[in-house]
């Protein structure tokens, strides 16, 4: 095996597949990146990784003198590729080792046994496509609400609902709920599917594509091993879906509210950051809404205290609520609008956050947050 490839192309492809390398592999061979060079047509090199749950594959053009198939340490290759000089990189197989030369730099990497490496899953049938930039933004808005507690596997996922041209993403960790609706291009207007994807995987995949690309989304047919796939520009990844029935989270959205308040997102974020400096061990930040202002308070008694007053508009009765500052900031940072509208009921009832622009609610994103009980 021998081939030459552009250094930047190599670094991008290796970075893509290394993303799927497991932190705690069940087998040492799964730490490897497979490199397969083909001299067919104009010549190409395929790099891939797989941990039985998530796979990643990248195909790049290369000047291939000799075809071959090897497995080398993925982590080491990724570290090397990032630091290579801006010169073409040459790979050649010499006995049980791969020699990588780039400019005046030379690295010799031992190969790993290919016979022990599992076959990568194939991409399922394409069910539609979506703009990568819009998809990454939507996934980021929702993934913040998924739990990282592995004892609740269903809630570590993002529920993906497909109904024709409508794509909906949902996530909850029991203390908050995020819902994002968007348009996409289904392969059939009658497409109706549901998938539960690990939030961490979905977020990493969505951010890894170029914002200008169109991502093709694939899903296995019902009754088969459930896999979701994403592909664009010679790169693809697959992931096993989470098995189970996701809770009926839409039932958590209140039907009506006693009041609503509007406030600048950037100003509120900065104020929460400041007053939460005295909120030890995630004790709550209180926000008291009255006509014309919102007063933020944190800390109490003999402990350090902080307060700040912001301009706000209020429609309805005065209300005071308290939030976990971390959850509050994550929701506010996901808004992407200059204003946020809080729809409120009693101090212990969930509060609905929605973006607001030019006095109008932006309906495609909802962030529902359960307040923390507090004593006056």
Indicate if 191 and 259 belong to the same structural domain: no
Q: State both tokens at 48.
A: 């891939």
Q: What is the pLDDT at residue 224? A: 64
Q: What is the reported pLDDT for 25?
A: 87
Question: Would residue 375 count as lying in a domain?
Answer: no
Domain boundary among 83, 116, 149: 116
Q: What's the rounded Cα separation, in Å, for the pair 320 and 296?
A: 10
Type and span of the H or E element at 198: strand 192-198
pLDDT value, residue 68 = 94
pLDDT for 280: 77
Residue 42, number of CB atoms within 10 A of its CB: 10
Same domain, 18 and 46: yes
Q: What is the pLDDT of residues 234-291, one digit of tens each?
A: 999 999 999 999 999 999 899 899 999 999 999 999 999 999 999 877 689 999 999 9
Are residues 236 and 348 part of one domain?
no
- Which of 47, 71, 69, 49 lies closest to 58 in space, CA to CA? 47
Show which of 116, 138, 154 is a domain's final residue.
116
Confidence of residue 228 (pLDDT cuts 50, 70, 90): very high
- 376 found inside a domain: no
Do 140 and 109 belong together in one domain? no
pLDDT of 289 reads 96
φ/ψ (deg, to 5) at 75: -60, -45
The pLDDT of 89-117, averaged and rounded, is 96
Phi, psi for 132 (deg, rounded to 5): -60, -40
Which of these, 344, 341, 349, 342, lies nearest to 373 by C-alpha position? Answer: 349
Residue 223, pLDDT above cutoff 80: no
Is there a domain that residue 276 lies in? yes
Same structural domain, 217 and 324: no
- 150 within domain boundaries: yes
Considering Cα of 335, then 337, then 341, then 347, what sign does the dihedral take? positive
Residue 232 shares a structural domain with residue 274:
no
Q: At 265, list the tokens.
A: 């997102």
What CATH number is associated with residue 29? 3.10.150.10
Is the confidence at residue 376, as pLDDT, over 60?
Answer: no
Tens digits of per-residue pLDDT, 68-92? Answer: 999 999 999 999 999 999 999 999 9
The rounded distance, in Å, linking the Cα atoms of 229 and 327 is 30
In a domain, 374, yes or no: no
Do 101 and 158 lie in one domain? The reply is: no
Q: Smallest Cα–Cα separation from 278: which of 253, 317, 306? A: 306
Confidence grade of residue 229 (pLDDT, cut at 50, 70, 90)? very high
Q: How far apart are CA 86 and CA 100, in angstroms?
A: 14
Query: How does DSSP classify residue 245?
Result: P
Tokens of 290: 């009255």
| pLDDT at residue 326 greater than cutoff 70 | yes
Task: Kindly tell me if the per-residue pLDDT of 180 is higher than 60.
Answer: yes
For residue 79, is it within any domain? yes
Q: Please name the residues in contact with 360: beta carbons below 8 A apart, sequence gap of 6 or more.
A: none
Split into its structural domains, the chain has a count of 3
Q: What percent of the chain has pLDDT over 70?
A: 98
How far apart are alpha carbons 189 and 242 in whole angstroms?
26
Pair (162, 207) in one structural domain: yes
| Whether 302 and 361 share a structural domain | yes
- Mean pLDDT of the residues in the chain: 93
What is the per-residue pLDDT across 16-43, written as a single tens digit (0 to 9) for each? 999 889 888 889 999 999 999 998 767 8
Domain C-terminal end among 116, 133, 149: 116
| Tens-digit pLDDT profile for residues 150-164 | 999 999 999 999 999
Structure tokens at 22: 């497991």
The whole-number pLDDT of residue 107 equals: 98
112: left (phi over 0), alpha (psi -120 to 50) or beta: beta
Domain match, 144 and 188 both: yes
What range does the domain containing 150 cover? 125-250
Task: Name the helix (H) or strand (E) containing 76.
Answer: helix 74-83
Proportion of the chain above pLDDT 90, given as a percent: 86
CB 345 within 8 A of CB 258: yes
160 part of a folded domain: yes
Same domain, 354 and 264: yes
* Judgement on whether residues 77 and 134 belong to the same structural domain of the protein: no
How many CB atoms lie under 10 A from the CB of residue 105? 13
Length reported for the chain? 376
Q: Which helix (H) or strand (E) holds 8?
A: helix 7-18
């Amino acid at each position: 095996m021998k081939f030459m490839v552009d250094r930047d192309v190599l670094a991008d492809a290796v970075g893509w597949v290394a993303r799927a390398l497991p932190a705690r592999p069940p087998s040492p061979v799964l730490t490897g990146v497979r490199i397969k060079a083909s001299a067919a047509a104009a010549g190409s090199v395929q790099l891939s990784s797989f941990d039985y749950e998530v796979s990643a594959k990248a195909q790049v053009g290369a000047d291939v003198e000799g075809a071959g198939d090897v497995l080398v340490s993925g982590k080491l290759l990724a570290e090397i590729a990032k630091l290579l000089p801006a010169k073409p990189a040459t790979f050649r197989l010499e006995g049980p080792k791969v020699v990588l030369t780039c400019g005046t730099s030379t690295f010799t990497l031992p190969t790993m046994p290919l016979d022990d490496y599992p076959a990568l899953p194939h991409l399922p049938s394409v069910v539609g496509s979506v703009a990568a930039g819009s998809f990454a933004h939507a996934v980021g808005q929702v993934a913040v609400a998924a739990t990282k507690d592995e004892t609740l596997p269903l809630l570590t996922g993002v529920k993906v609902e497909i109904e024709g041209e409508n794509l909906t993403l949902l996530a909850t960790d029991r203390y908050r709920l995020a819902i994002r609706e968007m348009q996409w291009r289904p392969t059939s207007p009658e497409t109706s599917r549901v998938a539960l994807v690990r939030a961490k995987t979905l977020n990493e995949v969505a951010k890894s594509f170029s914002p200008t690309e169109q991502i093709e989304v694939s899903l296995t047919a019902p009754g088969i091993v459930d896999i979701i796939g994403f592909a664009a520009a010679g790169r693809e990844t697959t992931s096993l879906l989470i098995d189970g029935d996701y809770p009926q989270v839409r039932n958590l959205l209140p039907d009506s509210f006693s009041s609503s308040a509007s406030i600048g997102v950037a100003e509120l974020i900065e104020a929460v950051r400041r007053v939460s400096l005295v909120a030890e061990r995630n004790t709550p930040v209180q926000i008291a809404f009255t006509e014309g202002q919102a007063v933020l308070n944190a800390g109490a008694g003999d402990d350090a205290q902080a307060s700040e007053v912001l301009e706000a508009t209020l429609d309805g009765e005065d209300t005071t609520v308290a939030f976990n500052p971390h959850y509050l900031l994550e929701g506010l940072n996901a808004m992407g609008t200059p204003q946020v509208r809080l729809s409120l009921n009693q101090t212990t009832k969930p509060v609905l956050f929605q973006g607001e622009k030019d006095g109008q609610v932006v309906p495609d994103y909802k962030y529902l947050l359960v307040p923390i009980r507090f004593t006056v």
